[in-house]
Structure 1
Amino acid sequence: MIKILRRLYHLSNKFYFSLLGLLVKFFVNHSKEIPYDDIIVLGRGKSLNYYFKNYNKFDHIKHVVLTNFNKRDLNRKTILSLNNKIVHFILSSVEPTLSISQILKLNIGKVFYAKPIAMKSDPKTNRKLFRGNKYGVSVDYLPNSIDPYLKFCAGTGLYGIINSIENWNIKNAYLFGFDFYSSDYHGGNQHILTKERVSIFKKPKKEFLGAFHKTHYDVDKPAFLGYVSEKQNVKFLIHTLADLNKKYKNLIFLD
C-alpha cells in the first residue's frame, strides 16, 4: 500500500510540474545554444558573493551553470548578474528550483539531473520529484561518458563542473562558490540544516553538519584537484575560500 501511495505521489508530482513547465514555456525565453570555449559555473559557497559583486567583469561570457540553486540563492539584486546570460541548471535528486517569478526573468538553456543516464531505469536512482520540469524544457540525465568521474564525487557542484567540461568544448571554466565545504553557504547554513535531512541521518544538528561537511570535503576537494591535473588543456579560473594546492599551472586564482 505504501509503495502504491508513493508511486501515486511521484506521478502527481510529474503531472503537476510538467503542466507548470508547459505554461512557463509560453512566457520564458529558451535557448538551444551550446556553450563553447568559456563558461561560468556557480556553486553555493560564500565565495559566490565575489561573482555577485564583480559580475560585470564577466559580461563577455554568455553561458552560466547554476548548481543546485533554489529560490533562496538569488534575490532581486543578485539575479541581475544573470541578465543577458543563457542559464543552465544541474539538479540533485531533491531537484531544488528557482521560483516562477525568478525563472520568468531568465533565458533558460539546458537542465540536467545529476545522475548518469544508465541510472534512469533503476527505481532507486531515477527521478521521483520532477520539480525541474517547471523550467519548461526537458530534464536530461548526465551522459554515461562522465560516469567514471562521478564515482569519485559527492557533491552536485562538482558534477556541474565536470559535466560542463566533458559535455561541451570548454577551454576556460570560471568557478565561483566552490569552497568545498570549508565555508558556510553564501546564504548561511539554513540550506542544509533542515529537519528532513537531519532526521534522515538521525543526528543532532551540530553532529550532522560536521559529518556532512567532512564527507563532502574529504571526497570532492581531492576529486576536483585530480580532475584539474588531468585536464591540462582546460583553464580553471576560480575564486574560492578553500585552501587549494597551487601547483597546477591550469588552476588560476581570481582575487
Structure 2
Amino acid sequence: MILAVRRHRPAAWQVFGPSAAARSADALLLTAFEVLSDADAADGPVSGEASTALLDALIQLAVGEGLDLAFEGRSEVTPQECLEMVSGKTASLFACACRLGALYGGAAPQTTDEWAAFGHDLGMAFQLVDDLLGIWGDASVTGKPVFNDLRNRKMSVPVVAALSSETPAGGELIRRYARPDTEPADLARLVERAGGAGPPIEPRATPPHVSACTASPPCPRPSPNWRRCAT
C-alpha cells in the first residue's frame, strides 16, 4: 500500500479514514464562512462580497476536481482541457485568497480584480511546478512520494504535454499509459523524452499542427459562463 503523504506527514484521510477527513473538511469550510460573516470582524458589504468570492472559488474547485477525476478514465485530454482543470482545482483558490486580501485591505474594485488575476496566474504556476515535482521531485524535500500521479494514471500537465507531443516517445507513452503493468519509472522516462519536462528530447514524428490550444492564453481564467459546467 502506498502511503499518502503531505508535507512529510501522512494524509488525514489515511490516518483517520475518508469519512472523518471529509467531515473535517466540511467543518473547516463552514468555519471559513463563519469568519467572513462575523459582523465584528468586517463591515457588511465587504463581508458579503468576500463570502460570494469564496463560494465562487469553491464551485470552481469542485468543477476542476471533477474534471481531474473524469480525465483518469479518458485516453485523450487536450492541453487546453488540462489547463482549464488546473484553473479550477488550484488557481481558483489562489485567486480567491488574493481577492480576499485586497477586499479587506480596502482596495478599489479594479485593483481587487488585478490581485485576483495575479493570484490566478500564481496558482497556475504553483500547480505546474507541483506536477513536475510529482514526477521528478525529491521526496525528502517535497514531503510526498514521487510517481503517485503516474501510478494513478493522472492526466497532469507534463503527461498531457508528452501524450500530445507527436514524438515517438509520446506514441509509446500513449500505448503504455493504458497498461496497468507499466512501471511508473518507465512512464516518467517516456514523459521526459516526449517533452513533458521541457523541449522534447526526440524530434516529432510528424510536423506540428496548429490547433486552437496553441493559440490560447497559457493560463486560461474561468469563463464568465463557467457555472454552466457545474450544471
Q: Please indicate the TM-score interval, normalised by the length of the shorter structure.
A: under 0.3
Larger Rg: 2
Q: Which has the higher helix share?
A: 2
Give the TM-score of the pair, scaled to structure 2.
Answer: 0.28
Higher relative contact order (CA 8 A, sep 6+): 1
Q: Which has the higher strand share?
A: 1
